[in-house]
A = this chain, B = another copy of it.
Amino acid sequence: MALIVQKYGGTSVGNPERIRNVADRVAEWHRRGDRIVTVVSAMSGVTDSLIKLAREVCEEPAEREMDVLLATGEQTTISLLAMALHSVGIPAVSLTGAQAGIVTDGRHTKAKIANITPGQVRKHLDNGEVVIVAGFQGQTMEGQITTLGRGGSDLTAIAIAAAIKADVCQIYTDVDGVYTADPRIVPNATKIQEISYDEMLEMAGAGSKVMQARSVEFAKKFNVKFEVRSSFNNNPGTIVKEETKSMEHVVVRGVSVEKNQAKVTISGVPDQPGIAARLFQTIAQAGVNVDMIVQNVSQSGETDITFTLHKDDVKKAHKVAASISELSAARAVTVQEGIAKLSVVGIGMRSHSGVASSLFAALSAQGINIQMISTSEIKITVVIDEARAAAAAQAVHDQFGLNITPQG
């Protein structure tokens, strides 16, 4: 008899039939004697429709009112799921984020959870009810409705799991776990059985779309073990948890590829203190999200700074290029699209040497040129030609034996 928090995303509750399917799944756990808290997102498409409605009455809707509007999406799902559970004979009760005690700061549309007072959740669990909580939303101390931003429902689930000290937190999604690589790119990618928070964070940062980094960070902070699994089958998923000794035996946990990148190089920047700060301030003010930043040692008082960004931001980047060039007295600013980021992630890197050279060798054997390199303690990222990204991912995946090593 376990205390379990489950989270179902928008696709899993996308229509009445799917909501009934989720109810059947939840009912199964409940009948087994487990105590269940189910966190749900808005039905897929609902949030987009609401945003469309908002734009029809106002060009730039106020964030406070967007939160009032968007919070209705999850409120709809929780009541429908409660009803669906009733119709299969399971006692269930729905709670909005506010009712579930999710207290946030006042940063509308991207609020941070400040604390959780799960009294209502506990009360209804003690009554033997399945407790259904609206994900993605909370309220401020003053009673204002807030939403948590992208990936907010995962965050709700993990935060509630932390607050009620759940035995397990299950994140149901449309993939059945975290893979050693994207199976659409690397067909023989295998599902990872266990992964550490840090590895999961680096995978998220490297473009793995399974979960937002901040939910993983929250889980790490409060040591909430969670499982990413599919809502469409009963396969075990991937457990994300604190790292263990045995995890270090695996040098590389996974390979991530992020396409649709571009890089901007500012050449011949005077090598003086403060130049980089001013540069990136200007870029940030233009609303450009910078990803990797690489600067090499200076030669004859000048240096080159390169940063990567999503190709959708290239227009903005071009716009600021001129002012950047002027500001920095740089020789030239060049923008290059058609590149991809490839990362290998694994806490085993800390204790194993030769990972970088092994990675470079695999790419070299394919004749793939490395344009940029950046490393962290448990990740190595290279920038390569986008057209070669799939071949590179496959080669690196093979190189580290990810298709055969039992993961765990």
- A interface list, Cβ under 8 A from B: 16, 19-20, 23, 50, 53-54, 56-59, 61-62, 64-66, 68-69, 71-72, 75-76, 78-84, 86-87, 93-94, 96, 99, 120, 143, 145
Contact = CB atoms under 8 A, between A and B. Distances in A.
Nearest to A57: B84
Contacts of A87: 57-59
What is the interface of chain A mostly: helix, strand, loop, or mixed? helix
Nearest to A78: B68
A55 to B, nearest CB: 9
A137 to B, nearest CB: 12
A86 B69 contact: no
The 3 A-B residue pairs whose C-beta atoms are closest, nearest first, are A16-B56, A58-B83, A69-B79
Contact of A65 (B65, B69, B86): B86
Contacts of A53: 16, 76, 80
B76 A72 contact: yes
A65 B50 contact: no
Contacts of A57: 16, 19-20, 23, 80-81, 83-84, 87
Contacts of A94: 65, 68
A68 B79 contact: yes
A50 B68 contact: no
Contact of A69 (B19, B69, B76, B120): B76
Contact of A62 (B20, B82, B145): B82
Contacts of A82: 62, 65, 68
Contacts of A62: 82-83, 86
Given A64-B93, A72-B72, A75-B75, 11 more contacts: A16-B57, A23-B57, A50-B76, A53-B76, A53-B80, A57-B81, A57-B83, A58-B86, A65-B79, A68-B75, A68-B96
Nearest to A20: B57
Contact of A80 (B69, B79, B81): B69
Given A16-B53, A99-B143, A61 B75 contact: no
A27 to B, nearest CB: 13
A261 B222 CA distance: 66
Nearest to A74: B72
Contacts of A93: 64
A151 B254 CA distance: 59
A68 to B, nearest CB: 4
A16 B57 CA distance: 6
Nearest to A120: B143
Contacts of A54: 79-80, 83
Contacts of A81: 57
Contact of A75 (B20, B72, B83): B72
Q: Identify the interface centre among A53, A68, A99, A120: most chain B CB within 10 Å of its CB.
A: A68
A197 B62 CA distance: 41
A270 B68 CA distance: 61
A222 to B, nearest CB: 26
Contacts of A61: 83, 86
A121 to B, nearest CB: 13
Nearest to A144: B99
Contacts of A120: 143
A249 to B, nearest CB: 47
A260 B84 CA distance: 36
19 contacts: A16-B56, A16-B57, A20-B57, A23-B57, A57-B83, A61-B83, A61-B86, A62-B82, A62-B86, A64-B93, A65-B83, A65-B86, A68-B96, A69-B79, A69-B80, A75-B75, A96-B145, A99-B143, A120-B143
